[in-house]
A = this chain, B = another copy of it.
Amino acid sequence: MDRDHAAALFANDAFYNAFATGDLAAMEDVWAKAHPVSCIHPNDGIILDRAAIMDSWRQILENGGLDIHCAEAEARVRDGFAVVTCFELLGDGCLAATNLFVKEGSSWKMAHHQAGPSATRPAPKDRQGPAVQ
């Protein structure tokens, strides 16, 4: 795994860390500042504005972090952007997610996120991420 590939997966982990711990400042830091950003939460329309995306996370995390685990994260890295796909295990539910990262300086920052329900679940052994025991 080359450095960019590992760094894209690290940025993906940082997103789920912020999500699981309810750390809004960390969530704010995950998202791109120089690039346009967009976000599609499950069953909840399309958000195309950074301030509105941050408001949505404020609402999602207002009672603290969620019991969320990332699994089977796969990164495809190209010049200047990386597509990470993964499952999100959220309580008893399972979502499939798209996380698009762009290079800002030397860091990968989130430019787009979509998550939606998935009937297919990863095997338990494939659980990854900060909240896994």
Contacts and interface: CB of A to CB of B under 8 A. Distances in A.
Interface of A: 35-36, 38, 40, 42-46, 48, 72, 74, 76, 78-81, 83, 85-87, 96-98, 100, 102, 111-112, 114-120
A35 B80 CA distance: 14
Number of copies: 2
B81 A80 contact: yes
A11 to B, nearest CB: 17
B111 A83 contact: yes
Nearest to A87: B46
Given A81-B80, A119-B44, A112 B96 contact: no
A47 to B, nearest CB: 9
